[in-house]
Structure 1
Amino acid sequence: MSAATDVLAHLPAQAPGPVCVALSGGLDSSVLLHALAALPDYRARGLRALHVHHGLHADADAWQAHCTAFCAALDIALEVRHVRVDIDSGLGLEGAARTARRAAFAASLQAGEWLALAHHRDDQAETFLLRALRGSGPEGLAAMHSQRVFAAGQLWRPLLSVPRAALLAHGQAHALRWIEDPANTDLHHDRNFLRHQLLPLLRQRWPHADAAFAASAALSGQASALLGLREEAWLAAHATDGPLALEALRREPPAQRARLLRRWVGQFDAPPLPAQGVAAIEAQVLPAADGARFAWHGVEIRRWRDHLHLLPPESPWPADWSVAWDGHAPLALPDGGQLALHGAEGFEAPLRVCARRGGERLRLPGRAHSHPLKHLLQDAAIPPWQRFALPLLWDDQTLLAAGDTLLSADLSAWLRARGAHLTWQPPRV
C-alpha cells in the first residue's frame, strides 16, 4: 500500500455521524477534507467544512478565499466564522487564538455532529514532548485524544496514527494546493522548535521516535483512564452535590488527593487547577478553619463546614437593584443566577425582588414572631458567600422569602395550597 493511500486506509468507510471538518487551508486539514469527500457515506451524512477567520494575518482574507475555492471544487459546503482574538487575555497570542477558535467550533457544531480535526502522529509526538517538558502526569502525557465529547457533539481526530509524510504524499498525489502559514516556521514558538530542530535530530538516531512518543502517549492515556474510573467512583460518593467532603479527602494519600482535587475541579467549567494550587490547598486550606481559600483565574476553592466549595468569580449585585416579578417566567438575577416559580401560573400581584441590605426580618411557618434574617441564614447553614447573593422577595414592606428555602408563613401557605414551589439557582462556575 502506498503512502498516498494510507490516509484513506485509516478512515472508516462509514461516517460516525454528520462530520464537520475544521479547515484552516493548510496541508493537514486539506488532505483530511479531500479524503473524507472521497467516501460516499460522509457526503450522504452531510459532510461540511468550517473555516475560522482570526483576522491576525495580512493574508487572512486570502486564506478564506482559498478555502472557499477548495470547498467549491469538492462541492462541499463551507461555513466561515470571524472571531476576535483577545490579545490582552494573558494567554499569549497562540493561546488567545486557540481559545477564540475553539469557541467558534463550539458555536458552530450542531447537535450530534462530529468535528474532525486533522492532527496526525507527528503532532501527537510534539504534544507528548511539550507536556513532558512541562512536568505533566499521565493525563497530560496522554496528549491528544482521538475522540471526546465536545459542545453539542463529538471532537474527532481520525488521523492521530498517521504520519505527516502520508498526508504530504496524499496531497502531492492528488495535486492539492494548500496554504503555508509563515507562523509555522517561527522558532520562537516551542512547538515549531520541536518540529524543526529537535525532532529531526532525534530521528537521525531513532528513526521511529515519532511512533514511540505516540505509543507512550497512548499508554499514558490508558493509565489515566484506569485511574479515572476509581476517581469518578470516589467523587460520586464524596462530592455528590458539588462540595467535596474533607474527611474523606484526608483519608487518601497525598498523591491521590492531588489527583482527586484536579478531577473534581475538572468536572466544572473552570480553569484547570495549577500545580501550585494543590500545594497551597494542602498547606493553607486543609488544615485551616472555615473561610480558608485558594483562588486562581477568577475562581476559588473555599473551605466551609468540612467541605471544599468551588466558587465562580464574585459578581456583586448593584446596591439599588430591584425589580417587579409576576412569576410567569423565570427571573434572571444580576449575578447570573435565576429565580423561578413552578406549579403556578404566577403570583396574584407582582412582587418585588431585590438584594439583601441588612436588618431584614422574616416570620417562618409555625412561629408567632419574626426573626432577624441574619440569624435564620446562619441556622439554615446557608454558606457565607451566598448570604448577600440571596434574592429577597417582598410584598410591600413584608419579606416573603430569602432564596427558595427560607419562606414566610404566608408565602409557604400560598404555595402549598397550589402545589407550587420556588427554586433559586445560584451562579455556577
Structure 2
Amino acid sequence: MTGRVPAYVAEALRRFGPTGDCWVAFSGGTDSTALLHAAAARADDAPGNLRAIHIDHGLHPDSPLWSDHCRRICDAIGVPIVVCCLHLEPIPGESLEATAREARYRALAAVLRPGDLMLTAHNQDDQAETLLLALLRGSGVHGLAAMPREAELGQGRLVRPLLDLPRTTLEQYVRSCGLSWIEDPSNASVRMDRNYLRNSVVPLLRVRWPGLSATLSRSAGHCAEAAYLVDGLASELMEACAGAHPGALGIRALGALERSRCKAVLRLWLRRRGFALPDRRHLARILDEVLPARADADPLVAWSGCEVRRYRDDLFALAPLPPPSALTIRRAPSGVPPVLELPSGLGWLQWPDASKVAERTRWPDGAPTVRFGSTGQTCRPRSRSRRRTLKNLFQEAGIPRWLRPYVPLVFSGETLIAVAGICACHDAAHEMPQWLGHPWEDLGLFRDRAD
C-alpha cells in the first residue's frame, strides 16, 4: 500500500510533464511530508528542479518552530526550500480559514514561472470533507465537484496527485519510512467547520459506511463531469452573447436566454474574469435588476471583490472602484514629466519626450495638474469642431457614467488641455499624455485619439 504514494507522484509528473521546476507545498504535516519524500524519491521523473515552499501564516506562536522543522527536513533530503511568512491577522466578520486559504494560494502562485508545477498533498479524505462542506453550503455542481485534480495557478499549474489515496495510506507511508512530522494542535479544535466534520461527524458516518471517503470522492468526480458539460454549453452561449466591448456581455442577448442558461453564462463569465462567484441572491439581482433596467440607468450589484454594472447594451464586471473622495489633484514636477503616477491605482500618464515638447509648447502657468470629477468644463477636440462639454465628450466616446469621475483631466493653470484617453483640447495647443495602466484597459473603453 505505501508504495502507491511514490507511484502516484511519479504518474502525476509524467502526465503533466512540467517544463520548469516542480514545487511541493510543504506544511510539515503528515500528508505533505509523505508527498515531499515521495517526490524526492521520484525526482528523476521531473525535468526541472524539485523545490519546496512552506507557508508560515503567523497565526500560531509555534509557527517559527514549524518553519525550522521544514528547513531541517528539506536540508536532510537535499531539496531547496522557500519559507514565506504571511503574518495574517483576523479580519472582523471574515472567515479566518478562508482568509488564510486565499493568502496561501496567492503565495504559492507567486513563486511559479511558466511551465512550473505546484504539488499539494490533498487526499481522498480531504476531498470527501470538501464535498460535505459544499453540500452544507448549498453549492451547485461546480462547488460539489470539490477540488480538481489539476488547475491553473499563477503562471504554472496546481496538481493534486494524492486525491485517490486515503489519509491512512499517507500516515502508514511516513511511519514506514521513519519520517517525522508536525502535529498542528489546531487540527483538534472543532471551531473550524472542516475540523468539526473531520473529528466529530465523519467518524460517525464511517462506522455505518466504511467506504465513505471513496464514495463521496466518486460523487465529486461525477459532479466535476457535470460541471464540465455545463461550462461547455455556457462557453458556446457566452460567445453568442459577446458585448460591444472586450470582456463585456450583451444585455439583449443575455435577456433572450432561458434563466438557467443565463445563470450558467454569468457564472462562467465571472469565473473567467477572475472574480469570486456571487451567491444566489446577488446572481438573482443581476437577472432581475440589472438586465431589465433602462439603457440609461446605472444599476449596480456588488459583492466581495466584484461590481457588475451596465452601460447602454453592455454588462461589465470590474473590481470595486475607489471612492471618488479619495482622488486628489496631482501636480506634475517642474517642466513636462515623462510619467506622472495617478492616485488610487488609476495608472499613470505618459507625456511625449519632454525635450521635444518644450521646443514647441510653453507652460505659462507652470507644470500641468491632473484633476478628477471637475464639472462645467468645455473642450474643442478638433480645430473645426464646436466646443463640447465633458458630458458630451464622454457620451460620444462611450464612457459609462460610473467611470467618468475617474478620468484624469489635465489642466494648465485653470485651462483644460486634455481629457486622458479621449482627446486633447485643440485650442490649448498642448500634447495629450497617454493614459496607461488603468484598471479598465482590457475593456477597450479608453482609446487616445490624436485629433
What TM-score results when the alignment is normalised by the length of structure 2?
0.85
Contact 2:124 2:214 in 1 (8 A): yes
Question: Does residue 1:320 correspond to 2:332, yes or no?
Answer: no
Of 141-150 and 100-109, more deviation after overlay is shown by 100-109
Against the structure 1 CA distance between its residues 356 and 190, is the aligned structure 2 distance closer, same or farther, given a 3 Å change threshold? closer
Q: What root-mean-square deviation, in Å, do the aligned CA atoms of Structure 1 and Structure 2 show? A: 2.6
Identity of aligned residues (%): 35
Q: Structure 2 CA distance, aligned partners of 1:44 and 1:321?
A: 51
Q: Structure 1 CA distance, aligned partners of 2:192 and 2:414?
A: 63
Matching residue within 386, 393, 396 for 2:410: 393
C-alpha displacement at 1:92, in angstroms? 2.1
C-alpha displacement at 1:99, in angstroms? 2.4
Contact 1:52 1:101 in 2 (8 A): yes
C-alpha displacement at 1:359, in angstroms? 1.7
Of 109-118 and 200-209, more deviation after overlay is shown by 200-209
Matching residue within 277, 283, 303 for 2:310: 303
Other-structure match for 1:294:
301
Q: Which aligned runs of 4 or more in structure 1 are off by greater than 6 angstroms?
A: 410-415
C-alpha displacement at 1:41, in angstroms? 1.4
Contact 1:321 1:355 in 2 (8 A): no
The residue matched to 1:358 in structure 2 has which SS?
coil
> What letter is aligned with 1:427?
P
The residue matched to 1:10 in structure 2 has which SS?
helix
C-alpha displacement at 1:409, in angstroms? 3.5
Matching residue within 260, 272, 286 for 1:267: 272
Contact 2:329 2:369 in 1 (8 A): no
Other-structure match for 1:384:
401
Matching residue within 159, 167, 187 for 1:164: 167
Aligned length: 420
> What letter is aligned with 1:150?
L
Other-structure match for 1:418:
none
Other-structure match for 1:53:
56
Structure-to-structure mapping, 1:329-368, within 5 angstroms: 329=339, 331-339=340-348, 345=353, 348-349=357-358, 351-368=368-385
Q: Structure 2 CA distance, aligned partners of 1:62 and 1:394?
A: 57
> What letter is aligned with 2:4?
D
Matching residue within 185, 196, 206 for 1:203: 206
Contact 2:9 2:42 in 1 (8 A): no
Structure 1 gaps, min length 5: 416-420
Deviations 1:251-271 (A, max 9, x none): 111112222222222222333
Contact 1:322 1:355 in 2 (8 A): no
Of 209-218 and 300-309, more deviation after overlay is shown by 300-309
Matching residue within 235, 245, 248 for 1:243: 248
Against the structure 1 CA distance between its residues 405 and 397, is the aligned structure 2 distance closer, same or farther, given a 3 Å change threshold? same
Matching residue within 438, 442, 445 for 1:426: 438
Contact 1:327 1:340 in 2 (8 A): no
Other-structure match for 2:361:
none
Other-structure match for 1:145:
148
Structure-to-structure mapping, 1:80-99, within 5 angstroms: 80-88=83-91, 90-99=93-102
The residue matched to 2:405 in structure 1 has which SS?
coil
Structure 2 gaps, min length 5: 359-366, 443-451
Question: Does residue 1:125 correspond to 2:110, yes or no?
Answer: no
C-alpha displacement at 1:326, in angstroms? 4.1
Q: Structure 2 CA distance, aligned partners of 1:152 and 1:69?
A: 29
Of 263-272 and 31-40, more deviation after overlay is shown by 263-272
Matching residue within 419, 426, 429 for 1:402: 419
The residue matched to 1:12 in structure 2 has which SS?
helix
Q: Structure 2 CA distance, aligned partners of 1:413 and 1:319?
A: 23
C-alpha displacement at 1:395, in angstroms? 4.7
Matching residue within 271, 277, 286 for 1:281: 286
Q: Structure 2 CA distance, aligned partners of 1:370 and 1:335?
A: 30
Q: Structure 1 CA distance, aligned partners of 2:84 and 2:92?
A: 20
What TM-score results when the alignment is normalised by the length of structure 1?
0.89
> What letter is aligned with 2:77?
L
